[in-house]
């Protein structure tokens, strides 16, 4: 049986990726239709984007490969934007953690093991919610409230 004759199932997607032309285009469509958090989708798209990079470096790219590169370009751009957004969110979360820990250090002289335990629950609050608590409550009140 040839790759293009395989049924359209999740089990055959890995093999059909190896196909060419219309078969490969169908697989890309099927992968994009899967939920964003689907592991098969994520891994397969990563592999296809790696293939795209390899093809772009290759000097002997035929029309079929150029079409594949063009088809994968929007997916690549989307992955790039998602990675950038994730990096920004992680950076903001790290900055919030840093501010919160510094407030605890300044207010109580140090950030000991007891105070470290309440950092996570405090991070679940907005800065507007946790700032007054850190400035107004005593150490004991904070520990009692968040432990």
Tokens of 117: 């335990």
Contact 137, 109 (CB under 8 A): no
With CA atoms as reference, report the closest residue to 49 among 13, 19, 83, 74.
74
**What is the torsional sign of CA 119, 121, 126, 131?**
negative
- Other Cβ atoms within 10 Å of 50 Cβ, number: 10
69 — pLDDT class (breaks 50, 70, 90): very high
The span from the CA of 67 to the CA of 50, in Å, is 15
pLDDT tens for each residue of 113-122: 999 999 999 9
Average pLDDT on 73-98 reads 94
Q: Over 80: is that where the pLDDT of 106 sits? A: yes
Instruction: Name the pTM for this structure.
Output: 0.66
Could you tell me the CA-to-CA distances from 24 to 70, 89, 105, 122, 135 in Å, in that order? 13, 34, 57, 48, 59
Q: Hey, where are the domains in the chain?
A: 3-86
Q: Over 90: is that where the pLDDT of 6 sits? A: no
């Amino acid at each position: 049986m040839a790759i293009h004759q395989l049924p359209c199932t999740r089990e055959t997607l890995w093999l059909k990726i190896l196909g060419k032309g219309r078969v490969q285009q169908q697989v890309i469509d099927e992968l994009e239709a899967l939920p964003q958090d689907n592991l098969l989708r994520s891994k397969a798209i990563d592999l296809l984007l790696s293939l795209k990079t390899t093809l772009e470096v290759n000097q002997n790219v035929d029309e079929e490969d150029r079409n594949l590169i063009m088809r994968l370009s929007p997916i690549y751009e989307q992955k790039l934007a998602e990675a950038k957004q994730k990096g920004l969110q992680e950076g903001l979360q790290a900055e919030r953690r840093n501010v919160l820990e510094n407030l605890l250090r300044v207010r109580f002289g140090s950030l000991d093991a007891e105070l470290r335990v309440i950092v996570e629950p405090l991070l679940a609050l907005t800065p507007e919610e946790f700032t007054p608590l850190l400035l107004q409550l005593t150490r004991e009140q904070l520990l009692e409230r968040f432990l």
